């Protein structure tokens, strides 16, 4: 089983991102689940989502304690939340950041999802849309296929700037 | 103008969204009420805003109660305090859903019984706690998650319902005018009996506007005449604050509507009805104020 | 059609596919998506129903009573405080023999406010005459909602059905879901024999003397009893037509098990993973998932001679875990050995208000079981 923990802030689209990643994995022929974990706070508070991908039906409903991959949509969360908690020794990290980051011995992917969203004017209620470009980055990291990522996005979003953003993130991110 | 005390009863650690008017209203209400106060709060955003156990961001006792029951719980609390000679303010702080929908029976009962309490309805015109569903206080044309095509029905006229109970004091207010709100709360709490204040409370995620525009939105509501500021002391009507000017000459309602995402799909008919409704309300209030002035002169 | 759905959306999709005629509902976390999705389906025309955005849950069930009394297919959804706020109507709808279907997102009751999963809300309604199912996957939520209409509306039952989903854990998880494109005649048209008929006027719920009242109550029990066969038929026909099999309860590796974990909802699925871990250690564990709480299944044969660990995500203060007590009552003989000695279930109270319970925790419950004991998970005094 491959387990992903996604850190975002309420209103950034992390919950939808988790669903889209799981949906893409499902389109790849895998079993997948996505679960949001809401805190009691209102908008802007840190939110965690869990994604599980496996070859068999998934029977686990509890939280992911030892992720294979941690995704951080907003690096400011790292000041208050230990996003690396429980990350497997060979676990990887994917951060939304313009700059490379060093996090222990973990492989860290970085991509400027915010910049990509803004460059395509993908903005909702003042917030850049990060979930659709994120799918491109997750595909580049080899967790879902590029085709399924595109299919998952277009099944939810009619506006083709969303797929464009995913393609751009796919192309921009260093493997 | 009243001197607003520095003492804070709402600490800066609330869990409210940025630009939340409800927490601003709560801040001024508690400043006006002071230390000898108990807040009775039904399920609403304020259940969350006050923080998570074992912490609290509110420095007066807060009693959290079932959604439908704020005014009923306040009735019991008020009677019990008075029975032992205590003057403690009992203040319900409830959302529009907890007031005009599920809580209206308890509110009506408490008002009719002459309960010595203050009921504050902060009106963000939707069920915000559960993620912006329609309430009876949602205006016509507004999009919510249960009115995906915009609401078809009028906003319930809560003030007319309350007025029909002849409370000793009732008022409207708006978060963008905190001094006016402060003064009204002060005055209300100086009078024994049932008091009611209805406060418009712009909600950035619910109304879909950037959080830094929350004061601007409240002001637009009042200057455009969509929201009227007034008070009634034993029935005597006084138009207050910015509404005095707005009732003579108001800014375009479109400016208020266009500043919010929830009215983006409102039809021209919806907008015409909103305008008509606001005009009718203004005319009714102006007429009543004039009639009362004439009566006073005669006497 | 193979899709990807949350538990809430699965329920709303089944309500649409069942061509429900009246939906009256009130939002409450974590059920709200059912209401919103239904409002959307009605607005888009996908569901040609009347959606009544009532002002409270007492009124949502009130509106359902009014609608079902005329003989149309009726649905509502709620959770925790909403469910207990409609308590009067819960009892009245069952006693009025109205085939209403309701989804309940299991959630804790306050104070303090807590929106996490707990079964005390629905289990406190277990004496009302409602049938109750507890589901454990998104697919099962969809399938059981469809079945619920057929079971409730069956003339031998004519009792309302509640489908329970663990709040957040199941209402908000996204999983694969296969929807049914053509139900065929799996759901016959609603045909309520006592629907209001202008040409056959009569009093409904008229003042009933002590010489008659108990007969109506006995009739509810008869409907409940007959519902077992109706449920089994609805499940068998469902399996035949659509290929997915359900029982009154579900067993996982129980045949050769020495110890059986009994639970309802998502905890039972998580228990399967615990059973796999325990088996690797040489402990022959199995899982029995309660699917129908009312009518309560006979578990005597299934549990005979086994160690039993019951996990309750609920509690009856002054008595104990609700499930474990139901099981002790209904399967008492299973726990008495040939020597006449009792080996009573070990009761675990876990997961209240969304308390995190993992498969490792569940494996620990089994390892540390004590016949007849009670453990409150996480309480350390
Ligand atoms: C009996 C009951 N039904 C439903 C709920 C769920 N609920 C909690 S708060 C809320 C909406 C509150 O709306 P409003 O009173 O307008 O306050 P706001 O959240 O907008 O501040 C709802 C539906 C509940 N807690 N209890
Ligand atoms: S949703 Fe609206 S009312 Fe609720 S905390 Fe946020 S801004 Fe305030
Ligand atoms: Mg509100």
Question: Among A109, A105, A115, which residue's Cα sits nearest to residue A95?
Answer: A109
pLDDT-based confidence at A122, cuts 50/70/90?
very high
Q: Which two tokens stand for residue C58?
A: 């007492």
Angstroms from A107 CA to nearest CA on chain C: 28
Q: Rounded CA gap, B184 and B31, in Å? A: 12
CATH number of C2-242: 3.40.50.970
Q: B124 C-alpha vs ligand 2 centroid, how far in Å?
A: 8
- To the nearest 10°, the Cα dihedral for A126, A127, A132, A138? 160
CA B80 to chain centre: 26
Q: Rounded CA gap, C97 and C86, in Å? A: 17
CA of C35: which chain B residue's CA is closest?
Answer: B146
**Contact A99/C at CB under 8 A:** no
Q: Rounded CA gap, A74 and A48, in Å? A: 12
Q: Residue B291, exposed/middle/buried by CB under 10 A (0-12, 13-18, 19+)?
A: exposed
**Pocket of ligand 1 contains residue B144 by CB under 6 Å:** no
Query: Which ligand lies nearest to the CA atom of residue B100 in the structure?
Result: 1
pLDDT-based confidence at B13, cuts 50/70/90?
confident
Q: C257 C-alpha vs ligand 2 centroid, how far in Å?
A: 52
Handedness of CA B239, B244, B247, B252 (dihedral sign): negative
Q: Which two tokens stand for residue B39?
A: 């807040």
| Boundaries of every domain in chain C | 2-242, 249-376
pLDDT surpasses 80 at B164: yes
Nearest CA to ligand 1 atom 8: B43
Angstroms from C1 CA to nearest CA on chain B: 26
**Torsion angles phi and psi, residue A33, rounded to 5:** -135, 155
Q: B66 C-alpha vs ligand 1 centroid, how far in Å?
A: 9
pLDDT-based confidence at A46, cuts 50/70/90?
confident
H helix and E strand count, chain B? 11, 8
**Contact B48/A at CB under 8 A:** yes
Q: How many residues would you count in chain B? A: 299
What is the ipTM metric for this complex?
Answer: 0.95
Q: What is the mean pLDDT of chain B?
A: 96
CB C288 within 8 A of CB C250: yes
Give the per-residue pLDDT at B1.
52
Q: Rounded CA gap, C171 and C192, in Å? A: 31
Q: B20 C-alpha vs ligand 2 centroid, how far in Å?
A: 5
CB C289 within 8 A of CB C136: yes
Cβ contact B17–A43 (<8 Å): yes
Chain segment B133-161, per-residue pLDDT in tens: 999 999 999 999 999 999 999 999 999 99
pLDDT-based confidence at A10, cuts 50/70/90?
confident
Angstroms from A126 CA to nearest CA on chain B: 7
Give the per-residue pLDDT at A11.
81
Give the per-residue pLDDT at C102.
98
Cα angle B101, C16, C127 (rounded to 5 degrees) comes to 60
**Pocket of ligand 1 contains residue C81 by CB under 6 Å:** yes
Give the per-residue pLDDT at A127.
85
- What CATH number corresponds to the domain at position A60? 3.40.920.10
- Asked whether residue B16 is domain-assigned, the answer is no
Contacts of A32 in chain C (CB under 8 A): 175-176
Residue C361 has a CB neighbour count (10 Å cut-off) of: 20
Number of domains observed in the structure of chain B: 1
pLDDT-based confidence at B189, cuts 50/70/90?
very high
Cβ contact C39–B148 (<8 Å): yes
Q: Rounded CA gap, B31 and B2, in Å? A: 12
Give the per-residue pLDDT at A136.
97
Assign a CATH topology to domain C249-376. Answer: Rossmann fold (3.40.50)
**Contact A36/C at CB under 8 A:** yes
**Pocket of ligand 1 contains residue B96 by CB under 6 Å:** yes
Helix C359-367 with C266-280: angle, nearest 10 deg = 60
Chain segment B39-97, per-residue pLDDT in tens: 999 999 999 999 999 999 999 999 999 999 999 999 999 999 999 999 999 999 999 99
Q: Rounded CA gap, A51 and A63, in Å? A: 10
pLDDT surpasses 90 at A108: yes
Secondary structure letter of residue B99 according to DSSP: I
Residue A114 structural domain: 2-172
Q: Rounded CA gap, B38 and B56, in Å? A: 14
Give the per-residue pLDDT at A42.
67
pLDDT surpasses 80 at A43: no
Q: What is the reported pTM?
A: 0.97
Give the per-residue pLDDT at B2.
64
Helix C138-153 with C7-17: angle, nearest 10 deg = 40
Q: What is the mean pLDDT of chain A?
A: 94
With a Cβ cut-off of 6 Å, ligand 2 is lined by A 42-43; B 16-17, 20, 22, 45, 49, 124, 128, 203-206
Q: Which residues pair with B231 in a beta bridge?
A: B171, B238
Give the per-residue pLDDT at A105.
95
Angstroms from C312 CA to nearest CA on chain A: 16
In tens digits, what is the pLDDT along chain C, a chain of 381 residues?
Answer: 999 999 999 999 999 999 999 999 999 999 999 999 999 999 999 999 999 999 999 999 999 999 999 999 999 999 999 999 999 999 999 999 999 999 999 999 999 999 999 999 999 999 999 999 999 999 999 999 999 999 999 999 999 999 999 999 999 999 999 999 999 999 999 999 999 999 999 999 999 999 999 999 999 999 999 999 999 999 999 999 999 999 999 999 999 999 999 999 999 999 999 999 999 999 999 999 999 999 999 999 999 999 999 999 999 999 999 999 999 999 999 999 889 999 999 999 999 999 999 999 999 999 999 999 999 999 997
Q: Rounded CA gap, C203 and C219, in Å? A: 18
Cβ contact B45–A43 (<8 Å): no
Number of domains observed in the structure of chain A: 1
Two domains, one topology: C2-242 and C249-376: yes
CB A28 within 8 A of CB A54: no
**Contact A11/B at CB under 8 A:** yes
- What CATH number corresponds to the domain at position B258? 3.40.50.970
Residue B221 structural domain: 21-298
- Asked whether residue B273 is domain-assigned, the answer is yes
């Amino acid at each position: 089983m491959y387990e992903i923990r996604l850190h975002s802030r309420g209103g950034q689209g992390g919950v939808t991102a988790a669903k889209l990643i799981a949906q893409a994995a499902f389109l790849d022929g895998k079993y997948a689940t996505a679960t949001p974990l809401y805190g009691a706070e209102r908008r802007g508070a840190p939110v965690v989502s869990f994604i599980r991908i496996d070859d068999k039906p998934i029977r686990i409903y509890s939280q992911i304690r030892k992720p294979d991959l941690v995704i951080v949509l907003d690096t400011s969360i790292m000041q208050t939340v230990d996003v690396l908690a429980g990350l497997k020794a060979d676990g990887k990290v994917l951060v939304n950041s313009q700059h490379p980051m060093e996090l222990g011995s973990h492989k860290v992917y970085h991509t400027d999802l915010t910049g990509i969203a803004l460059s395509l004017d993908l903005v909702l209620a003042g917030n850049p849309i990060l979930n659709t470009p994120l799918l491109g980055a997750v595909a580049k990291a080899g967790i879902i296929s590029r085709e399924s990522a595109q299919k998952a996005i277009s099944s939810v979003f009619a506006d083709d700037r969303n797929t464009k953003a995913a393609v751009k993130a796919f192309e921009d991110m260093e493997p | 103008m009243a001197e607003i005390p520095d003492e804070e009863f709402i600490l800066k650690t609330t869990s409210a969204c940025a630009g939340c008017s409800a927490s601003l209203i709560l801040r001024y209400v508690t400043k006006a009420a002071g230390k000898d106060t108990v807040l009775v709060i039904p399920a609403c955003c304020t259940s969350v805003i006050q923080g998570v156990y074992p912490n609290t961001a509110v420095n007066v006792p807060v009693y959290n109660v079932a959604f439908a029951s704020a005014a009923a719980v306040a009735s019991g609390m008020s009677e019990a305090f008075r029975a032992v000679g205590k003057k403690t303010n009992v203040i319900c702080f409830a959302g529009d859903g907890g007031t005009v929908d599920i809580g209206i029976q308890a509110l009506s009962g408490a008002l009719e019984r002459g309960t010595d309490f203050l009921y504050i309805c902060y009106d963000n015109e939707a069920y915000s706690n559960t993620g912006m569903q329609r309430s009876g206080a949602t205006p016509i044309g507004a999009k919510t998650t249960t009115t995906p095509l915009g609401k078809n029905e009028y906003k319930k006229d809560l003030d007319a319902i309350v007025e029909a109970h002849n409370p000793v004091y009732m008022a409207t207010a708006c978060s963008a005018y905190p001094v006016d709100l402060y003064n009204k709360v002060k005055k209300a709490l100086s009078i024994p009996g049932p008091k009611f204040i209805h406060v418009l409370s712009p909600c950035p995620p619910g109304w879909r506007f950037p959080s830094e525009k929350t004061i601007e939105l409240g002001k637009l509501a009042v200057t455009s005449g969509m929201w009227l500021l007034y008070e009634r002391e034993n029935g005597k009507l006084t138009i207050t604050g910015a509404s005095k000017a707005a009732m003579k000459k108001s800014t375009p309602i479109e400016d208020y509507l266009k500043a919010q995402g929830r009215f983006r799909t409102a039809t021209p008919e919806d907008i015409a009805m909103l305008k008509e409704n606001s005009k009718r309300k203004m005319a009714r209030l102006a007429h009543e104020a004039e009639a009362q002035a004439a009566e006073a002169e005669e006497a | 059609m193979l899709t990807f759905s949350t538990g809430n959306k699965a329920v709303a999709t089944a309500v649409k596919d069942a061509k429900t005629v009246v939906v009256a509902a009130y939002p409450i976390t974590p059920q709200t998506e059912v209401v919103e999705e239904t409002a959307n389906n009605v607005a888009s025309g996908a569901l040609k129903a009347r959606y009544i955005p009532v002002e409270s849950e007492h009124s949502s069930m009130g509106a359902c009573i009014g609608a079902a009394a005329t003989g149309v297919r009726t649905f509502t959804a709620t959770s925790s405080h909403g469910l207990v706020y409609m308590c009067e109507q819960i009892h009245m709808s069952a006693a009025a023999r109205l085939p209403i279907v309701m989804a309940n997102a299991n959630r804790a009751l306050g104070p303090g406010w807590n929106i996490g999963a707990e079964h005390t809300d629905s289990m406190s309604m277990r004496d009302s005459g409602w049938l109750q199912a507890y589901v454990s996957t998104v697919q099962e939520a969809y399938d059981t909602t469809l079945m619920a209409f057929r079971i409730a509306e069956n003339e031998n039952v004519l009792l309302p059905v509640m489908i329970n989903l663990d709040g957040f854990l199941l209402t908000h998880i996204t999983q694969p879901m296969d929807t049914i494109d053509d139900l065929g005649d799996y759901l016959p048209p609603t045909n309520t024999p006592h629907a209001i008929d202008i040409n056959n006027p009569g009093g409904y719920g008229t003042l009933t003397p002590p010489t008659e009242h108990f007969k109506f109550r006995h009739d509810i029990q008869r409907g409940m009893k007959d519902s077992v066969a109706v449920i089994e038929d609805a499940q068998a026909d469902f399996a035949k037509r659509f290929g997915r099999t359900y029982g009154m309860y579900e067993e996982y590796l129980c045949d050769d098990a020495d110890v059986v974990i009994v639970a309802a909802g998502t905890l039972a699925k998580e228990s399967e993973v615990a059973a796999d871990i325990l088996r690797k250690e040489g402990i022959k564990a199995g899982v029995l998932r309660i699917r129908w709480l009312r009518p309560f299944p006979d578990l005597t044969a299934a549990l005979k001679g086994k160690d039993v660990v019951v996990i309750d995500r609920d509690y009856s203060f002054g008595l104990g875990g609700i499930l474990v007590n139901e099981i002790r009552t209904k399967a008492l003989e299973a726990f008495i050995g040939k020597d006449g000695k009792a080996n009573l279930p070990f009761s675990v109270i876990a997961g209240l208000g969304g308390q995190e319970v993992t498969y490792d925790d569940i494996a620990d419950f089994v390892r540390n079981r004590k016949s007849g004991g009670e453990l409150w998970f996480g309480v350390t005094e």
